[in-house]
Every structure is written in C-alpha cells, then in structure tokens.
Amino acid sequence: MTTALPYDIQQLKHCADEIVLNVRELAAAGWTPATSSNFSRRIDQHHVAITVSGGDKGRLTGNDIMVVDLDGQPVATDRRPSAETLLHTQLYKRFGEIGCVLHTHSQNQTVASRLYAGAGHVRLEGYEMLKALSGNTTHETALELPVLPNSQDMHTLAAQVDALLDRQCMWGYLIDGHGLYAWGRDMAEARRHLEALDFLLGCELELRKLQR
C-alpha cells in the first residue's frame, strides 16, 4: 500500500524542473563554486521544494530536490535539506506571495559583502538596472542593500533578516564573506532580482577600482 503524499507530485516535479534548469545556468556562470549555494521554490501553502545539502550544484538533477514544510522540516523523506533552509522558509512563512528564493556565492557578491560589511549596506543609486527590482519605475531612486554579519547559527541570521524586514521592503540581502539571497513571486522574478543585484554590485566594485 502506498501512502498519499501531502503535496501534489506534479507540482513538485514542475518546481524541481525549474530549479534544475535555472541552477545549471547559474552554475555555468560561476555563481555556485565548490558545492555552495541553495535554491527553493514554493509548491503550495505548506510545502517548499529545496536543494539537498552539499553536492555540486553544477551537476544538480531532480533527485537533488526534496520537500520541506514551512518550518524547514523534511516531508516524506529522510534526506537532509540545505543547511540554510531556515533562511528560505522564513520568507515563505512571512510572505504568502513569495514563490522562489535563490542564494548564490558569486565573486561580486562575496567581495562586495566584505567591502561593505562595515557600513552594513551597499548604496545603489541612479542605475537604470534598479528598475529590474519590482516596484522601482525609475533610475532616480536609491536602494540600500543590507549586509548582515555571517553566522553558522541560522536562527541568529533569520532573526537579523526578520528585524530588517520589519523596517524595510527588500528583495535581497548580502551576508558578509558569504553571498547573496534574493527572492521573488516566481522563479523569473527571483532570478531577475538576483541577476540585477549581482550586476549592480559588479558596477560598484568596478567603480571603486577606477576611482582609486
């Protein structure tokens, strides 16, 4: 006898396919070195498809995607979810409309996080690319991308993120010496936010070099 799963298997398959396709592209761009990075997609109100912990994200297959509930607990599997699962599920739990969370370790993201950790944010102002972030309709705006201190304790990090979200609307944040989290209502929006923030960080880093 087979036990019915508490989520729609077709929906999981759709989410897994989408994650695999997008992660392969991000890995090919060099944004997921040395097994780093993690990715998730909402399946329904109570379930999230997320990458398992460890493993080369450049060789990700559907078999490397598992299901957790909104507390980050594995559902119908004994596999181990991403070590940073809580940073994904806290967003799904807080915002019913969030459908996708992406976390990468590109060089731009990591270097910028180090340079701006002291300030606690990277100020991004006057760029046309700011319009890639939902809600922005003009380049005549400024955004302070938060940089959080790193921690191996996900509850500490999640509490810092929650405190930020109490104060401001945002689509992403950096963690010092670590990488970038970005999210959106679906994969396309989350990916656009991730790429836009990485591009903007790259511009700031380049400007710093040129202005020396």
Closer to ligand MRU by Cβ: residue 35 or 141: 35
Closer to ligand MRU by Cβ: residue 39 or 116: 39
Which of 155, 154, 153, 125 lies closest to 140 in space, CA to CA?
125
Distance in Å, CB of 187 to ligand MRU, minimum: 18
Are residues 124 and 90 in contact, defined by beta-carbon separation less than 8 angstroms? no
By CB under 6 A, which span of 3-11, 15-23, 79-87, 199-207 interacts with ligand MRU? 79-87
Please calculate the CA angle 114-116-121 and round it to the nearest 5 degrees: 130
Are residues 115 and 208 in contact, defined by beta-carbon separation less than 8 angstroms? yes
Distance in Å, CB of 55 to ligand MRU, minimum: 7
Distance in Å, CB of 179 to ligand MRU, minimum: 7
Closer to ligand MRU by Cβ: residue 99 or 179: 179
Q: Residue 54 interacts with ligand MRU (CB under 6 A)?
A: yes
| Total Cβ atoms within 10 A of residue 56 | 13
Closer to ligand MRU by Cβ: residue 111 or 203: 111
Distance in Å, CB of 39 to ligand MRU, minimum: 9
Which of 143, 165, 151 lies closest to 90 in space, CA to CA?
165
Tell me how far apart the alpha carbons of residues 96 and 122 are, in angstroms, rounded to a whole number.
Answer: 28
| Total Cβ atoms within 10 A of residue 130 | 21
Whether 105 has a binding-site annotation, put simply, is yes
Q: What is the chain's percent helix, strand, coil content, to nearest 5?
A: 45, 20, 35
**Residue 30 gets which letter from DSSP?**
T
What three-state secondary structure class fits 50? strand
Q: Residue 11 interacts with ligand MRU (CB under 6 A)?
A: no
Q: Give every CB contact of residue 188 below 8 A, 6+ residues apart in sequence.
A: none
Tell me how far apart the alpha carbons of residues 210 and 202 are, in angstroms, rounded to a whole number.
Answer: 12
Closer to ligand MRU by Cβ: residue 34 or 210: 34
Per-residue binding string, ligand MRU, 12-51, x by CB under 6 A, is ----------------------xxxxx------------x
- Hey, which residues between 85 and 144 contact ligand MRU (CB under 6 A)? 103
Whether 103 has a binding-site annotation, put simply, is yes
Closer to ligand MRU by Cβ: residue 12 or 66: 66
The binding site for Zn(2+) consists of 103, 105
Sites of contact with ligand MRU (CB under 6 A): 34-38, 51, 53-54, 82-84, 103
